[in-house]
């Protein structure tokens, strides 16, 4: 099945740009707040913004517990404000992606209220099972455990049954074996598509369906006493994740998105969220096939899941795992941070955070930036006390690592509350390093992280070889290196990054016969080596140093890959310089 014009345009927009993930409440206040930051986005070449759930919610899980899917929570403004934001973004050629949470609602959703009361139309909107009462204890219908620990079943006094919840008890799972629920999900998507939103990040997708036999899930450690099973990792989740019918549902949603993509230049994006550590094939399924599309891409969490230590080998493995498993003709994507994981600069240190961002923004496909990464924000370092901890994971019987640390307010400048708010207290505390680490301070500093971000995102936006065509990884144990080139252009980019713990000197000409002579530094990690002429026989890089080199190649690298080199073409396209356009080739 070949791509339609809308799909081509949509994918072109996607590939050239990157997705900026922000959280209202800690970035600026939605929706008009975002509107006031459009200049900032423009300076950073951001075209696509993904916002956290802003729907009506009691906020037990930062808005991922929704009590009305088609209303805006007053803390984020009104529907009119939202529409103004959308129009403002579209006027500037920007796109807005919403978070869509189909797996569960809030307990406070009226559907749940009605379901508890067994109102006929809503009786089966959630997953209800009988559970036995043994004195004050309730024996759940089976051993299923919530992702956040403890039984996934909670007893409801009114209905006198247990309901299933994959996350907090305040987030009952919707029952997708009920066709009415399936219809509700489509109505919600249609509502926002009709408003004009540009797509969705679909939350917690693999949990959508459960096995209808409700059998116990198998124990990972067969000898574990069944009564002690409380942790999510104690079980194999054969009956509560990735059930038969899941991909049919996603295809239905894709069809709906496609139907709503008819207007000229309008493309609706779908990104899926599913952590499938060590099960890359499961992740890749969300792309669908070339006959039946599903997501534009499933989020690539390899950097979050697998990067225990930084080395050339560990990074190369991540790159290879994604690129070699991705189905032909699909878009790659790279994620270094989000609202559920420690910030990259805290995880790997500020030096490697820069190099990793340089890598992410020069790889093919879509890059996702979590707000604040562009200035090198780090995790909040404080001990939760009753007043400050916001993530309900603090309040669990067996508390889990909370996610407040990565959700602190955006650091705009060195004024009160980092310029985020003039209130006495913010939702989460401001990171105390804001006095020096902030947008204002980095704005005019040529060696800052922000300056680096601006250059890299500009490069993605303006240079054809960074947008489409070929990526050839050069095999070298000392550096991560790759070439980005486009058929028909004799100008390419070579990216070289030192993820090791020693200064290195590498000979790039040994890595490929097409590489010889000199190249010019287009972007260096701190701006100091920009425009330097580099002899490809002797490229020296300090620890954590990276460079994007501009090179005139006499022959394409992908025409003649060596035995150790892997070349990938992403939606292969040829640039025809005579007429200045891309052609599918």
Active-site residue numbers? 203, 273
**Percent helix, strand, coil in the chain (nearest 5)?**
30, 20, 50
List the one residue out of 525, 507, 514, 512 whose CA is nearest residue 556. 514
* C-alpha to C-alpha distance for 273 and 301, rounded to whole angstroms: 9
List the one residue out of 484, 585, 508, 502 whose CA is nearest residue 542. 502
Structure tokens at 351: 């030096």
CB of 32 to ligand GLC, least distance (A): 25
CB of 339 to ligand GLC, least distance (A): 6
Q: Which listed residue (204, 506, 534, 541) binds ligand GLC by CB under 6 A?
A: 204
**For ligand GLC, the closer CB: 202 or 466:** 202
Binding-site string for ligand GLC from residue 159 to residue 198, where x marks contact by CB under 6 A and - marks none: --------x-------------------------------
**For ligand GLC, the closer CB: 393 or 460:** 393
* Cis amide leading into 31 (omega within 30): yes
Beta bridge partners of residue 481, listed in sequence order: 474, 496
**For ligand GLC, the closer CB: 61 or 487:** 61
The Cβ-side half-sphere exposure at 230, using a 13 Å CA radius, reads 8
Contact call for residue 210 and ligand GLC (CB under 6 A): no
Q: Which residue is nearest to ligand GLC (CB)?
A: 64
Contact call for residue 64 and ligand GLC (CB under 6 A): yes
Residue partners of 7: CB distance under 8 A and separation at least 6:
261, 267
Contact call for residue 108 and ligand GLC (CB under 6 A): no
Beta bridge partners of residue 368, listed in sequence order: 19, 335
Contact call for residue 61 and ligand GLC (CB under 6 A): yes
Contact call for residue 97 and ligand GLC (CB under 6 A): no
Contact call for residue 7 and ligand GLC (CB under 6 A): no
* C-alpha to C-alpha distance for 473 and 481, rounded to whole angstroms: 6
* C-alpha to C-alpha distance for 29 and 52, rounded to whole angstroms: 12
Contact call for residue 356 and ligand GLC (CB under 6 A): no
CB of 299 to ligand GLC, least distance (A): 10
> What CA–CA distances, in Å, run from 496 to 399, 480, 534?
42, 6, 12
CB of 106 to ligand GLC, least distance (A): 10
**For ligand GLC, the closer CB: 15 or 205:** 205
Give the total of residues touching ligand GLC (CB under 6 A).
9
Q: Which listed residue (173, 184, 203, 276) binds ligand GLC by CB under 6 A?
A: 203
Q: Which listed residue (6, 124, 306, 340) binds ligand GLC by CB under 6 A?
A: 340
Determine phi and psi for 236, rounding to 5 degrees.
Answer: -85, 135
Contacts with ligand GLC, residue ranges (CB under 6 A): 61, 64, 101, 167, 203-204, 273, 339-340
């Amino acid at each position: 099945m070949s791509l339609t014009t809308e799909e081509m345009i949509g994918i072109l927009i996607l590939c050239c740009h990157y997705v900026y993930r922000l959280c209202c409440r800690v970035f600026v206040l939605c929706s008009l707040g975002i509107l006031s930051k459009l200049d900032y986005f423009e300076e950073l070449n951001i075209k696509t913004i993904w916002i956290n759930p802003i729907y009506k919610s009691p906020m037990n899980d930062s808005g991922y517990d929704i009590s009305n899917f088609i209303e805006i929570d007053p803390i984020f403004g009104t529907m009119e404000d939202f529409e103004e934001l959308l129009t403002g973004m579209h006027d500037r050629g920007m796109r807005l992606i919403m978070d869509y949470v189909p797996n569960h609602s809030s307990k406070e959703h009226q559907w749940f209220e009605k379901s508890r009361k067994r109102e006929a139309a809503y009786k089966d909107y959630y997953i209800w099972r009988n559970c036995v009462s043994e004195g004050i204890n309730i024996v759940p219908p089976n051993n299923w455990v919530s992702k956040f620990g403890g039984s996934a079943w909670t007893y409801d006094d009114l209905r006198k049954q247990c309901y299933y919840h994959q996350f907090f008890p305040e987030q009952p799972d919707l029952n997708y074996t009920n066709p009415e629920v399936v219809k509700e999900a489509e109505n919600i998507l249609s509502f926002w598509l009709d408003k004009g939103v540009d797509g969705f990040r679909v939350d917690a997708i693999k949990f959508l369906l459960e096995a209808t036999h409700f059998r116990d899930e198998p124990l990972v450690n067969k000898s574990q006493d069944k009564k002690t099973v409380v942790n999510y990792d104690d079980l194999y989740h054969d009956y509560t994740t990735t059930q038969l019918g899941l991909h049919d549902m996603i295809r239905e949603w894709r069809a709906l998105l496609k139907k709503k993509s008819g207007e000229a230049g309008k493309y609706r994006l779908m990104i899926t969220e599913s952590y499938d550590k060590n099960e890359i094939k499961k992740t890749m399924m969300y792309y669908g096939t070339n006959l039946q599309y599903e997501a534009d891409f499933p989020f690539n969490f390899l950097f979050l899941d697998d990067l225990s230590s930084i080395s050339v080998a560990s990074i190369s493995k991540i790159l290879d795992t994604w690129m070699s498993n991705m189905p032909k003709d699909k878009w790659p994507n790279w994620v270094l941070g989000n609202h559920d994981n420690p910030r990259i600069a805290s995880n790997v240190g500020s030096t490697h955070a820069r190099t990793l961002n340089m890598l992410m923004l020069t790889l093919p496909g879509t890059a996702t930036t979590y707000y604040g990464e562009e200035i090198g924000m780090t995790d909040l370092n404080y001990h939760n006390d009753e007043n400050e901890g916001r993530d309900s994971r603090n309040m669990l019987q067996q508390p889990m690592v909370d996610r407040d640390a990565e959700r602190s307010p955006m650091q705009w400048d060195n004024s009160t509350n980092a310029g985020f708010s003039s209130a006495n207290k913010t939702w989460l505390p401001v990171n105390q390093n804001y006095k020096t680490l902030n947008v204002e301070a980095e704005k005019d500093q040529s060696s800052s992280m922000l300056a680096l971000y601006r250059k890299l995102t500009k490069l993605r936006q303006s240079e054809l070889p960074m947008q489409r065509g070929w990526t050839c990884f050069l095999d070298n144990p000392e550096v991560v290196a790759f070439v980005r080139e486009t058929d028909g252009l004799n100008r390419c980019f070579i990216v070289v990054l030192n993820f090791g713990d020693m200064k290195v000197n590498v000979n790039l000409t040994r890595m490929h016969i097409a590489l010889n002579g000199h190249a010019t530094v287009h972007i260096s990690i701190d701006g100091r080596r920009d425009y330097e002429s580099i002899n490809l026989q002797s490229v020296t890089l300090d620890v954590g140093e990276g460079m994007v080199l501009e090179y005139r190649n006499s022959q394409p690298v992908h025409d003649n890959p060596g035995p150790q080199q892997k070349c990938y073409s992403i939606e292969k396209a040829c640039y025809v310089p005579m007429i200045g356009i891309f052609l599918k080739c």
